[in-house]
Amino acid sequence: MLDWTAVLRFAAEGNPQPARRVEKSADEWRQLLTPEQFAIAREAGTEMPFSSDSCNRFEPGRYACVCCGSLLFDAATKFDSGTGWPSFDQPIAENAVAYRADDSHGMRRIEAVCNTCDAHLGHVFPDGPPPSGLRYCMNALSLRKVEQDATA
């Protein structure tokens, strides 16, 4: 199980290797994504809080990257953070998400990106529920819900 110390270590020293890599040009991503998805996932945007009903949905299943389809989170790790964005306390695998120091907006945060294609997902914070204490605050537009038995 990942904790805040591991997240900070990955952001500072390098992330685990992904199972595969997907790389496309900006034009190729634009052809696959809606303009809103592109702005969030490929240009590190942030959707408005409470703009998706995904925050209030807790059905079984998994969440994949909207860009490359890699599995990122299981619904069993989802919780209601009250922040207006879907929140999880663990990624589906240690190498599913990559971490980057983000000093934008006058503060230090840890950006969470898809480790397969570098899509911006959101940020991770050390104020989640036990036992991990992590809150992966994700943009709903960066995620695609898939069935429990689906694979990337």
Q: Annotated catalytic sites, by residue?
A: 137
Phi-psi region of 6 (alpha: psi -120 to 50; beta: other; left: phi over 0): alpha
Helix (H) or strand (E) holding 74: strand 71-74
Residue 52: burial class (beta carbons within 10 Å; 0-12, 13-18, 19+): middle
Coil, strand or helix at 75: helix
- In contact, 113 and 7? CB cutoff 8 Å: no
Q: What angle do CA 64, 116, 86 make, to 5 degrees?
A: 35
Q: What is the dihedral of CA 101, 119, 15, 96, to 10 degrees?
A: 130
> Do residues 115 and 20 lie in contact, with contact meaning Cβ atoms separated by under 8 Å?
no
